[in-house]
Amino acid sequence: MEAGAPLTIAQANFHMLWGGQAEVVLALSQSLKARGHRVTVVCPAESELAARAAAAQLDVFTGCSFRKGFRPVSFLRDVARLGALLRRQQVRIYHCHGSQDHWIGALAAARYSPETRVFRTRHNIYPVRNHVFNRWLFRRKTAQVITIFGAQGRFFTDTGLLPAERLATLHSPLPQEFVNPGEVPRALRRELQLAGDVPLVGYVVNSFHPDKAPLDFVAAAATVARELPDVRFCMVGHGPLEGEIRARIEATGLAARFHLTGFRRDILPVMASFDLVVLTSVAREASSTVLKQAAALSLPVVATDVGGTAEVVAHSRTGLIVKPGDVAALAAAMRALLTDRPRAAAMGAAGKEKVLAEFTAAAIAEKTEALYRKAL
């Protein structure tokens, strides 16, 4: 293939709801299209990704349902429909981001479009079993496996499924709205009736899940609050631990200084209202979008050393990293940055420089395209 020639690419994801994988597919598809490639987003018809991709004026193919479980009729129908798309559009790269779209894509390419190269970005952080079916899928039918943080590769290498040289690491990109957004109103402060000089510490997740350890944030905040009476705390999200979180806040006497906003779609002006962002995860953290969003807004961060955190946050330069589950260390790091504003500002500036250089969708798309061309 001529170097630099436009590629025909399909980006696929099976999820119905919005989340990290769908966000990556949308951002990557937009950036690859901006680089001159023909990109089609492959996803279920009623998915949130289908709606957002169409709104972004991307081509969308909704002929596959990508249903979970043992559904042979649906599975074979998806293989045939996707195969027809790959052959009709002469798709050179089929890039999938989940298990259903991986298996269906590999079979569709093998049966209907042998020239198509299958790529897989693996977003979750569980080991991949080394059995005959996965050896066929990953070794024989997948041109490139992409992990979203470096240590994730061990889930392939430890089982002997793939050697390290068959893996590449590309972090999930920063959402486009956070790339040099200009003057962002600190809308949450007005909503909470907080003056601009009142320190506000933010915690942002999609779900209050035990793996995200939201109660560690409450406990650390209680320690900080005793020493810094002006600081306020805000938790953005919802989920199974919300009732326990509210009870713990009441028990610590922090109700007047704690704000729970629920799930928010206006995440840019919400995060722009913070002075410090804290991530307390103890598991299931890969390439944190929240840490990148905070850095893009020049906000310092305190984060636990889980997943790819240490690849996103440069300890003592763009934020502070502590051991997962160490509430005392979390509180000490929060207090250190809240009481040393010049240091916090310097970290925020360094964080913005790092994230704009390494983690924008444009930067990730350029590296992804290089992998595509190498496979071709």
Chain centre distance of CA 90: 30
Task: Give the pLDDT of residue 126.
Answer: 84
Per cent of the chain over pLDDT 70 is 99
Provide the token pair at 241: 């631990």
pLDDT level of residue 206 (50, 70, 90 thresholds): confident
Nearby residues of 60 by Cβ (< 8 Å), 6 or more positions away: 40, 41, 42, 43, 50, 53, 54
Residue 1 predicted with pLDDT over 80:
no
Task: Give the pLDDT of residue 70.
Answer: 87
pLDDT level of residue 3 (50, 70, 90 thresholds): low
Could you give all domains of the chain from N- to C-terminal order, each with its CATH number?
Answer: 8-173+360-375 (3.40.50.2000), 179-358 (3.40.50.2000)
Chain centre distance of CA 250: 32
Q: Is this model's pTM higher than 0.85 or not?
A: yes
DSSP letters for 298-309 = T--EEEE--TTH
Q: For 306-354, how does the pLDDT look when each residue is reduced to its tens digit (9 = 90+)?
A: 999 999 999 999 999 999 999 999 999 999 999 999 999 999 999 999 9
Task: Give the pLDDT of residue 178.
Answer: 95
Cα Rg of the chain, angstroms: 22
Task: Give the pLDDT of residue 2.
Answer: 54
Asked if 325 and 318 touch (Cβ cutoff 8 Å), the reply is: no
Closest by Cα among 174, 123, 170 to 290: 174
Which residue in this structure is represented by tokens 């207090």?
A: 335
Q: For 39-79, how does the pLDDT look when each residue is reduced to its tens digit (9 = 90+)?
A: 999 999 999 999 999 999 999 999 999 998 889 999 999 99
Q: Span 289-293, mean pLDDT?
A: 96
Closest by Cα among 344, 332, 342, 362 to 298: 344
Closest by Cα among 62, 40, 36, 60 to 365: 36
Residue 286 predicted with pLDDT over 70:
yes
Task: Give the pLDDT of residue 57.
Answer: 97
Q: For 18-33, how does the pLDDT look when each residue is reduced to its tens digit (9 = 90+)?
A: 888 898 999 999 999 9
Summary mean pLDDT of the chain: 95
DSSP letters for 219-247 = HHHHHHHHH-TT-EEEEEEESTTHHHHHH
Least confident piece of the model among 101-110, 188-197, 215-224, 318-327: 188-197
Q: For 161-178, how does the pLDDT look when each residue is reduced to its tens digit (9 = 90+)?
A: 999 999 999 999 998 899
Chain centre distance of CA 48: 16
Q: Report helix, strand or coil for 212.
A: helix
Q: How many residues does the chain have?
A: 376
